[in-house]
């Protein structure tokens, strides 16, 4: 490929001219040859790490992306950014670093690419926060870029996954299984590399990014260990050179219409509540004014049609087998639910990418027809009321019912609530209230997978509800409301809920109400004193000071 001079806009500042000899000298030892200094440099941001199976294979994928860049006439340079493991840290103090890692990933990609003068970027992510972190970094830089998803894991023994293990903890506490059965699930649920296998946060965000136009077609629906995923990486490396030649940048792709496409696809798939938080943050980085109310507007017209875990039956690897996400996207496009004119990283529009895609086979039952949905409108509900003046996010598939009225049982942190559930202190009709877990109060807005899974394991799914200013894992299901804003630490009404108060969650009217007289609420608030922060130094303290509310994506800039 013959590259234009514009394709070296940044690297030329670092390596061109006699005065840049010291810079070139530093690059020879890391594999540069003389002719490489005349090529566009493409940074390959790898999230490889052995801290989680989601990312344990990404070093090999980064090698494939480098091959694609080099073959297409560029010079690929691999560098690393961090990942943490949500699944490992879930339910512990360490989980407070999870959302923070999104910002660290974005900051580190921006820092390395900006410093080194890379002309383009390939970012490869696996675990949940990798995806939005990478996209936020790419949007800030606004250099020709592409995202590659590391791919999904295979199901464990007996069609299990990590959520099966969390729910098994509740089953064991309820004497439904014994210690040997628990250990067997623990040992066999996660068989190898790849991101958690249901339509949890990783697969949700990968699907959203593909619909956004920032990944190659079907990148979100490939097994982690597969020839398709290796080829995806090679093609991504090649595609960046095409983007450089055409000067197509992330902010040319990530428009408001593109974000609407992403929202539409994740609703159809029954995706994670975390998509609300992350898409708002990604849009903020791209200069797009996406709000929580856009999810309500779009959700009125988009049905849930994918029978995928956690609320459904199937795993992502089974969706891969029937054709992945592309036939679904074509269904939505033909129904007028997607903007087909949006540009993508292929250099073509969404409609052009989908033109020759064949429909799913009639024999499959993972994806339903649009006129036979699982739910006729969105499962992602933006609730408001005296408990959430600035919004909250519920994940209501309809299987739990559409409203819940119950009695509050209040806890100041996740661990206290989990202990109460496992000790049988939670009964049918209770609304579990977990507060001081928001972006500032936690800090870090932990995910409540451990308590929600314990509820399911105890056989209380549908019989109790859980509300929090924290978040939920994509693996959570049941009658749950998170992202409550204002959060308790900021003086939200959630801070003054008392045991025995009645709470109404109404997903039909999108309301979340504390059924207590306003004069009583006002009196309680007048006596409320903000707790001391849990952290005053370090990255958690920085996040607590900088992060905006959950309704604004918990962004730090």
List residues forming the annotated binding site. Answer: 54, 86, 128-129, 447
Would you call the peptide bond into 195 cis, given omega within 30 degrees of 0 as the criterion?
no
pLDDT in tens, 138-175: 999 999 999 999 999 999 999 999 999 989 998 999 89
Distance CA 332, CA 325 (A): 11
Please calculate the CA angle 202-208-212 and round it to the nearest 5 degrees. 145
Distance CA 71, CA 396 (A): 47
For the chain, what are the domain ranges?
Answer: 10-154+192-355, 155-191, 383-552
Structure tokens at 540: 């958690």
Residue matched to tokens 């010291």: 22
Q: Looking at the predicted structure, is the pLDDT value of residue 388 above 80?
A: yes
Distance CA 305, CA 375 (A): 7
List residues forming the annotated binding site for Mg(2+). Answer: 86, 128-129, 447
- Which of 4-8, 111-115, 526-530, 553-557 has the weakest average pLDDT? 4-8
What percent of the chain stands above pLDDT 90? 94
pLDDT in tens, 408-434: 999 999 999 999 999 999 999 999 999
Q: Is 473 a catalytic residue?
A: yes
Confidence (pTM) = 0.97
Q: Looking at the predicted structure, is the pLDDT value of residue 4 above 60?
A: no
Q: Give the residue-averaged pLDDT of 229-249.
A: 98
Would you call the peptide bond into 310 cis, given omega within 30 degrees of 0 as the criterion?
yes
Residue 500's pLDDT band (boundaries 50, 70, 90)? Answer: very high
Strands 465-468 and 430-434: parallel
13: left (phi over 0), alpha (psi -120 to 50) or beta: alpha
Three-class DSSP category at 343: strand
Note whether 10-154+192-355 and 383-552 share their fold.
Answer: no
Domain 10-154+192-355 sits in CATH at: 3.40.50.2300
List residues forming the annotated binding site for [2Fe-2S] cluster. Answer: 54
Catalytic residue among 473, 511, 549, 551: 473
Cβ atoms 255, 339 nearer than 8 A: no
**CATH code matching the domain that covers 383-552, chosen among 3.50.30.80, 3.30.450.40, 3.40.50.10490, 3.40.50.920:** 3.50.30.80
């Amino acid at each position: 490929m013959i590259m234009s001079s514009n394709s070296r806009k940044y690297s030329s500042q670092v390596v061109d001219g006699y005065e840049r000899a010291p810079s070139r000298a530093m690059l020879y030892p890391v594999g540069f040859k003389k002719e490489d200094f005349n090529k566009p440099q493409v940074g390959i941001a790898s999230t490889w790490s052995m801290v989680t199976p989601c990312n344990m294979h990404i070093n090999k994928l980064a090698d494939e992306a480098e091959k694609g860049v080099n073959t297409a006439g560029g010079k690929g340079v691999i560098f690393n950014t961090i990942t943490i493991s949500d699944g490992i840290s879930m339910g512990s103090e360490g989980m407070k670093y999870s959302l923070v890692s999104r910002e660290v990933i974005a900051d580190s990609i921006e820092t390395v690419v900006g410093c080194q003068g890379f002309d383009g970027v390939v970012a490869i992510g696996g675990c949940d926060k990798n995806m939005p972190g990478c996209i936020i970094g790419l949007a800030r830089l606004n250099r020709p870029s592409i995202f590659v998803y590391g791919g999904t894991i295979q199901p464990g023994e007996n069609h299990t996954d990590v959520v099966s293990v969390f729910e098994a903890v509740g089953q064991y506490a309820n004497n439904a299984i014994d210690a040997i059965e628990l250990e067997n699930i623990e040992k066999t649920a996660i068989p190898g590399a790849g991101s958690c296998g249901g339509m949890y946060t990783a697969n949700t965000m990968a699907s959203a990014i593909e619909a956004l136009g920032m990944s190659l077609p079907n990148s979100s629906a490939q097994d982690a260990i597969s020839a398709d995923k290796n080829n995806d990486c090679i093609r991504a490396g090649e595609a960046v050179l095409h983007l450089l030649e055409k000067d197509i940048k992330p902010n040319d792709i990530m428009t408001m219409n593109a974000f609407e496409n992403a929202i539409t696809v994740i609703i159809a798939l029954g995706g994670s509540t975390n998509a609300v938080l992350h898409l708002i943050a990604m849009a903020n980085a791209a200069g797009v004014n996406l709000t929580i109310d856009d999810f309500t507007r779009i959700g009125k017209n988009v049905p849930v049609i994918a029978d995928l875990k956690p609320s459904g039956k199937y795993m992502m690897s089974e969706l891969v087998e029937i054709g992945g996400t592309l036939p679904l996207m074509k269904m939505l496009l033909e129904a007028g639910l997607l903007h087909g004119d949006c540009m993508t990283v292929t250099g073509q529009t969404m409609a052009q990418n989908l033109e020759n895609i064949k429909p799913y086979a009639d024999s499959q039952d993972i994806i339903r027809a649009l006129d036979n949905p699982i739910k006729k409108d969105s499962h992602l509900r933006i609730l408001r009321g005296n408990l959430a003046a600035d919004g909250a996010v519920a994940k209501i598939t309809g299987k739990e019912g559409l409203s819940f009225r119950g009695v509050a049982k209040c806890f100041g942190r996740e661990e206290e609530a989990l202990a109460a559930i496992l000790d049988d202190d939670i009964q049918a009709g209770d609304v579990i209230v977990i507060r001081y877990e928001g972006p500032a109060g936690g800090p870090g807005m932990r995910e409540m997978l451990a308590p929600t899974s314990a509820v399911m394991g105890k056989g209380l799914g549908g019989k109790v509800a859980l509300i929090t200013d924290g978040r939920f894992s994509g693996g959570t299901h049941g009658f749950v409301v998170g992202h409550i804003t204002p959060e308790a630490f900021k003086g939200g009404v959630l801070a003054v809920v008392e045991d025995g108060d009645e709470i109404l969650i109404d997903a039909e009217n999108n309301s979340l109400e504390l059924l207590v007289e306003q004069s009583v609420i006002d009196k309680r608030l007048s006596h409320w004193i903000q707790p001391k922060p849990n952290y005053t130094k370090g990255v958690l303290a920085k996040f607590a000071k900088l992060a905006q509310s959950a309704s604004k994506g918990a962004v730090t800039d």
